[in-house]
Amino acid sequence: MITSRHNVGKLLRFFISTLSIIVACVTSLRAESSQKQIAPEKAIAVIHCNYEPVTFFEQNTGQPSGFAVDIISSVAKRAGLDLSYICKSGWPEMITAVETGEAAISVLLRSVEREKILLFSSPVEITYLSYFARSQSSINLNNVPMGYKVGVIKGSRSYEYHKKLPGQNLSIEGTYQEGIFDLLAGEIDIFAGEESLIQKNARETRLDDRIKKIGKPFAEQERNSTGEYVLFVKDNGVGFPETVDFENTSSLGMQLVNMLAGQIQGRIKILKAEGTEFSITFPGKAEKL
């Protein structure tokens, strides 16, 4: 999650206010039950309107949704915040909303440029930025991206990355679907962006067999709230015995984990060591925010 550097003082006052609320609540346990409670601090979070599964607004209900919304809402609840959401159609608009004070919280991918004006929390997710080309095209990986017309989404991390490179021929795309269509129409040679989101849009339009990922990711980015999404689960500190059959275990917890992995077409990676973690890695349905 991020906030504007200009809001630091305000947030410090919020933390002091939160501490006061906690102290007041503890004190109230010994006071009269009729003592007036302190109202929660109100805050606004800005999210992308259409960035499934990270953040989006449900068309039927008009409510914010996505795994980043779940994270923000959970943190806000623990902090005693009365949180409401607004959405913007692009990342530059989201950043402006935080800068101007229209919103106090957002979820974005970290970059040097953004760190100059925004305060980032610890990373929530890591995503990969990759190149895609037409499935039948012949691309010289040794020259990429030089010598090719590269499509990027305005305001995205892929745009920030490529605009610094000399001699770039960039084409600004409005959406990921537009980028895929321009790629197939020959308007651009390469489409650069968040790997999982390009793949998601290609699948939804049934064009995934018409494009291909080329080379290795050109950047690995942290999202402070996509290649792949990874759910990390800590063990109890004892470690996993070598004899445990995780797919046929009688443990209710592991049965639930297997059910989750199956529902999201994921795979479980387990490190059998003392006090370690295991993770569920699953395909991204959703580029760096």
CATH value at residue 88: 3.40.190
Q: Are residues 88 and 168 in the same domain?
A: no
Q: Are residues 176 and 196 in the same domain?
A: yes
Task: Spell out the long-range contacts of 159-166 with Cβ–Cβ below 8 A and sequence spacing 24 or more.
Answer: 160/111, 160/113, 161/129, 161/192, 161/218, 161/219, 162/192
Per the CB < 8 A criterion, the answer to whether 190 and 214 are in contact is yes
Spatial strand order in the sheet of 55-57: 50-51, 55-57, 64-65
- The verdict on residue 114 lying in a domain is no
Q: Kindly give the parts of the chain with pLDDT less than 50.
A: 6-36, 225-237, 271-277, 280, 282, 284-289
Q: Are residues 102 and 134 in the same domain?
A: no
Q: Are residues 139 and 188 in the same domain?
A: yes
Per the CB < 8 A criterion, the answer to whether 139 and 214 are in contact is yes
Query: Minimal CA–CA distance to 157: which of 15, 287, 272?
Result: 287
pLDDT at 99: 87
* Whole-angstrom distance, CA of residue 273 vs CA of residue 239: 5
Of 45, 78, 106, which marks where a domain is finished? 106
Task: Reduce the DSSP state of residue 195 to 3 states and report it.
Answer: helix
Of 106, 140, 163, which marks where a domain is finished? 106
Q: Are residues 164 and 132 in the same domain?
A: yes
Q: Are residues 161 and 65 in the same domain?
A: no
Q: Are residues 217 and 233 in the same domain?
A: no
Query: Minimal CA–CA distance to 144: which of 119, 126, 167?
Result: 167
Paired with 82 in beta bridges are 42
- The verdict on residue 116 lying in a domain is no
- The verdict on residue 112 lying in a domain is no
- The verdict on residue 187 lying in a domain is yes
- The verdict on residue 117 lying in a domain is no
Q: Are residues 218 and 259 in the same domain?
A: no
- The verdict on residue 120 lying in a domain is no
- The verdict on residue 202 lying in a domain is yes
Distances in Å between the Cα of 169 and the Cα atoms of 177, 179, 278 are 20, 15, 43
Per the CB < 8 A criterion, the answer to whether 118 and 5 are in contact is yes
Domain count along the chain: 3
Of 193, 224, 255, which marks where a domain is finished? 224
pLDDT at 180: 95
- What pLDDT, in 10s, does the model give residues 177-190? 999 999 999 999 99
- The verdict on residue 115 lying in a domain is no
Return the residue matching tokens 């409005």.
Answer: 174
What's the predicted TM-score (pTM) here? 0.47
pLDDT at 53: 74
Q: Are residues 134 and 159 in the same domain?
A: yes
Q: Are residues 96 and 132 in the same domain?
A: no
Q: Are residues 88 and 52 in the same domain?
A: yes
Q: What is the DSSP letter of 145?
A: T
Provide the domain limits for residue 196. 126-224
Q: Are residues 217 and 234 in the same domain?
A: no
